[in-house]
Amino acid sequence: MFTEDAPIFQQLAARIADDILAGVHPEESPVPSATDLAVFHQINPATASKGVNVLVDLGALYKKRGIGVFVATGARELLRTNRRAEFRREYVAPLVREARALDIDRATLRQMIDDEESSQQ
Amino acid sequence: MTNAIDMQAVTRRFGESTALDAVDVTVPEGSICGLLGRNGAGKTTMMSIIAGQDRPSSGRVEVLGQEPFENESVLAMLSFVRDNQRYPDDYRLHHVLRIAPDFAPHWSEEVAAELVDGFRIPARTPIKKFSRGQLSSVAIVLGLASRAPVTLLDEPYLGLDVTARALFHDMLLRDYAAHPRTIVLSTHLVQESEALFDRVVILDGGTVRVSSEAEDVRDLAFTLSGATDVVQGLTARSTVLSTHTVAGLMSATVWGALDDESRTTARDLGARVAPASLHELVAAIGEHRPEPADLALHEKKGVRA
Amino acid sequence: MSAVISTVKLHMNRRETTFLVPLYITGMVAVFSVLISLVFWRSGSQPGSAEWIQGSQSNPGIVYALLSFLVYLGVSSVATTFPFALTLGATRRSFTVGTLLWAAITSAYVAAILAVLSVVERATDHWFVGFYVFDVYVLGAGDIGRLLPIVFLGVLTALTVGGVFASAWVRFGARGPQLIAAGVVIVIAAALIVVVPAAAEIAEAFQLWWLAVAALAAIALSSTGTWLLLRPAVVR
């Protein structure tokens, strides 16, 4: 479910974004309504709408009045661009910080990244 | 947004003891409000007064713009089943289901039927012989099927198993989305229910310690953990609600926000800072014995929204 | 007004207790009366003789049997029903009025049943064998004009007196009914102290309608008391 690290609406928005990036919701297809999301995740409907609206404001989702909310064309590219900006802050910065705390030098760190990459292929 | 519930300076005394002390609480229409606090904090008394089953010793309470006490039109719009509700002698489930719609103009047979089925409430057993969980189930049926514009749920989880709690959340959210109303829910199961709330009221010893949007609760307090002397040093001039220590380590829940300077200092000294979660905040408030000065401090910080 | 009707329905909701239990009790009393009559018969008394009729008609069993149940019904109509009525959304006012209305309906119902049975009893020449169950002195000795007010007022008195005791319990806890009981005892004792010297003359001048007036007074006092007790009552 949700963690306590960030407000629920942000976590919900991130989760929908994950699903769009993973192709669960293709572009121009509908995403679940805020009500369905609220019931599914057992969260307040207002919180769910707020989460959806984060992505609407971003331009990744758009609302068709009276029909529902759909994934915008180009949403995946948009989200990917956004995520890349976050990537450094969310993943690289802690990685470097932790490496420093553990006295892992730069060369070793690079080697670890290379090894990890080849092992995942 | 108009307020479904508006309590101003509500005090309720029972003889020598003060159950509610100058309570100011507003709940906007169309919200799910968590009413939290320890046993004896005044939650049921507050709900009783909102429901017109009790009257404040002083102060004013309005529900949907009118005083609820002895007010037929407000009472028809209101549902409140207390946690220790009594039922007439030799009542069974069908007695409740037969009479409740008479008093609840928005009663939904479908909601009632679905809940009775899901909770597996026995039809033949006298209510007097119901288990704690079965009594809670009946109270939830009355609360949700009434579709009352103001619905007060007093400890709805008592004795409910995991399946029943999920069913309750499911029905609550589905029906709330289809038929918006104002719901006040008191509970001790904070972690389990906090995602439901868009507003939160925390009572302690009859006074309101927090009344705010659920989202803003994250900014009300923080937890600081690390070496005892570091944590003590950083919190020396703050209102510390509760502390836990173990072998040189300390974790403190502290009112207010941490300024950037202290945050940097904390990190440099190896202490961890995190926003206090709702259940941490409720627990810490319950533990804290406030000094009068502390309370004044909260007022200043605008905690009472 | 609608909440008053709903309160009446709330009481009627216990259908078996309200409508059937009085019938069961009446039936039981009939069975017992018949058994007692059989004992007299076997001991040599002749059905239809003056002595037999006199003895049978003096049997007040029906009154005692119904009375205790009706007082219980009156108590439970407030003690456990009031908290639930508030939960459903009744006001204290509509609950009190609705409860009185329900008590009147129940009284009329019991009066009607006993009237019908009494008529049937007389029409069948006392169940063809001379058994007196309803054609008894306490019920007006077969006079429907007397039976109806006697039963109606008697039942209503039992229900409302039960109600006021329960209201005192709801309001003050266990001490409430004790205080009322003590008060009633004191009032009756005081009345006796005043009246006793003239007891013989009063007994001679006694008229049945005095009882009706006493019942009406008890009903009025009980209902007013119930309202005064419940108006500020808090459920906890």
Find chain B residues with C-beta within 8 A of C16's C-beta.
Answer: 90
Residue type at B294 in one-letter notation: D
pLDDT class for B291, splitting at 50, 70, 90?
Answer: low
Q: How far is CA A75 from CA A59, A67, A79, B207, C225, in A?
A: 7, 19, 6, 49, 73
Pairing of strands B32-36, B199-204: parallel
Contact B11, B21 (CB under 8 A): yes
Q: How far is Cα of residue B22 from the mean position of the Cα atoms in its chain?
A: 18
Residue-wise pLDDT tens digits, A62-96: 998 888 999 999 999 999 998 888 888 888 988 99
- Distance (Å, rounded) from C-alpha C211 to C-alpha C105? 21
Nearest to B196 among A5, A35, A43 (CB): A43
Closest Cα to residue B44, out of B81, B71, B75? B81
Q: Which of B70, B76, B81 sits opposite C87 (nearest CB)?
A: B81
Which residue type sits at B255?
A: W
How far is C75 from C97, CA to CA, in rounded Å?
16
Strand partners, A30: A70
Query: Helix crossing, C61-79 with C21-42: angle to 10°?
Result: 160
CB B154 within 8 A of CB B81: yes
Beta bridge partners of B201: B35, B211
Q: What is the mean pLDDT of residues C81-110?
A: 94
For B151-180, write each residue's pLDDT tens digit.
999 999 999 999 999 999 999 999 999 999
pLDDT of residue C199: 79
Question: Which residue(s) pair with A104 in the sheet?
Answer: none
Residues 6+ apart with CB under 8 A from C14: B88, B89, B90, B91, B95
Angle at which helix A45-58 crosses helix B162-178, to 10 degrees, equals 60
DSSP SS3 for A99: helix
Whole-number pLDDT of residue C35: 83
Instruction: Check if CATH label 3.40.640.10 holds for domain B3-216.
Output: no
Per DSSP, what are the bridge partners of residue B273?
B224
In the predicted structure, residue B98 carries a pLDDT above the cut 80? yes
The position carrying tokens 């918006």 is B180
Nearest chain B CA: its distance from C210 CA (Å): 36
pLDDT of res. C57: 73
Q: Which residue of B has its CA nearest to A45?
A: B177
Q: Which residue of B has its CA nearest to C83?
A: B86
Domain residue spans of chain C: 2-172+206-230
- ipTM confidence score: 0.85
Q: What are phi and psi of B254, to 5 degrees?
A: -125, 135
Whether C47 and C129 have beta carbons less than 8 Å apart is answered as: yes
Chain B contacts of C18, Cβ < 8 Å?
A: none
* Residues 6 or more apart in contact with residue C37 via CB below 8 angstroms: C47, C56, C130, C131, C132
For chains C and A, having 3+ Cβ pairs within 8 Å is answered no
Question: B70 — phi, psi (to 5°)?
Answer: 55, 25
* pLDDT confidence tier of residue B300, bands split at 50, 70 and 90: very low
pLDDT tens-digit series, residues C103-143: 999 999 999 988 888 888 888 877 777 777 777 777 777 77
Burial status of residue B304 (CB atoms within 10 A of its CB: 0-12, 13-18, 19 or more): middle
Q: Does C90 touch chain B (CB under 8 A)?
A: yes
Domain segments of chain B: what residues? 3-216, 220-304
- Within 10 A of C229 (CB to CB), how many other CB atoms are there? 24
Residue C1 is predicted with a pLDDT of 57
The CATH number assigned to the domain with range B220-304 reads 3.30.70
Nearest residue in B to A40, CA atom: B170
Residue of B nearest to A1 (CA): B195
Q: What is the four-CA torsion angle of B52, B55, B58, B64, rounded to 10 degrees?
A: 10
Q: Token pair for residue B172? A: 């609550």
More confident residue, B47 or B275: B47
**Residue in A44, A49, A53 to test binding to B, most B beta-carbons within 10 Å:** A44
Q: What is the mean pLDDT of chain B?
A: 89
Residues facing B224 on adjacent strands? B252, B273
Distance, in Å, from the CA atom of B202 to the CA atom of B221, rounded to the nearest integer, reads 13
- Physical contact, B and C (3 or more Cβ pairs within 8 A): yes
Q: Say if CB C10 and CB C85 are below 8 A apart.
A: yes
Residues 6+ apart with CB under 8 A from C44: none
Mean pLDDT confidence for B56-60:
95
CA distance A73 to chain B (A): 29
Residue pointed to by tokens 């009355």: B142
Cβ distance of B85 and C14 shorter than 8 Å: no
- pLDDT in the model for residue B1: 57
User: Looking at the predicted structure, is the pLDDT value of residue B304 above 60?
Assistant: no
User: What is the rounded CA–CA span in Å between residue B233 and residue B230?
Assistant: 5
Distance between CA atoms of residues B285 and B279, nearest Å: 10
Q: How far apart are CA C150 and CA C160, in angstroms?
A: 15
Longest dimension (CA), chain C: 62
Chains that touch C (3 or more CB pairs under 8 A): B
Nearest to B286 by CA among B210, B222, B192: B210
Residue A20: pLDDT band by 50, 70, 90 thresholds? very high
Of B75, B82, B142, the CB nearest to C91: B75
